[in-house]
Amino acid sequence: MNNGVIIGDCAVIRRKKPGTIDVWSKQRQPIVRDLHNHKIAICIATLMNQYTPRHAQTIKEMKQLDKEYHMLFIEHNRLSGKKKSDKDVLEYLEDRLQLVKNKIDSFYSTMTI
């Protein structure tokens, strides 16, 4: 596989649409589509290999982190590309982006070796 990685019975595949990642099951059914952070996709694939109903809340939280990360990343890139951007807003976005990255890294480090 040249555009992804296999984790247990799941595959994490980078789509042709730039910036999106999908998690697929062994039966070639999509589990989660249109993720933007590869660490979140790997964590979800790891959890889906040992899925129990208690993992549902964790997966929901990771999806929410992915949405928040994507929104902050896009907005930060948009503002940093402007010639005249508000430094306070840019600094706030950088701080929020760092907080979200730290949460994602925390999940990732607990689920991978």
pTM: predicted TM-score of the whole model, two decimal places: 0.88
Give the long-range contacts of residues 29-32, CB within 8 A, separation 24 or more: 32/59, 32/63
Q: Is the pLDDT of residue 66 over 90?
A: yes
> Angle 62-63-64 (CA atoms, 0-180°, nearest 5)?
90
Q: How many CB atoms lie within 10 A of CB 81?
A: 8
**Banded pLDDT at 40 (limits 50, 70, 90):** very high
Tokens 């994602």, located at residue: 104
Q: Provide the pLDDT for residue 94.
A: 94
Q: What is the mean pLDDT of the chain?
A: 91
DSSP 17: S
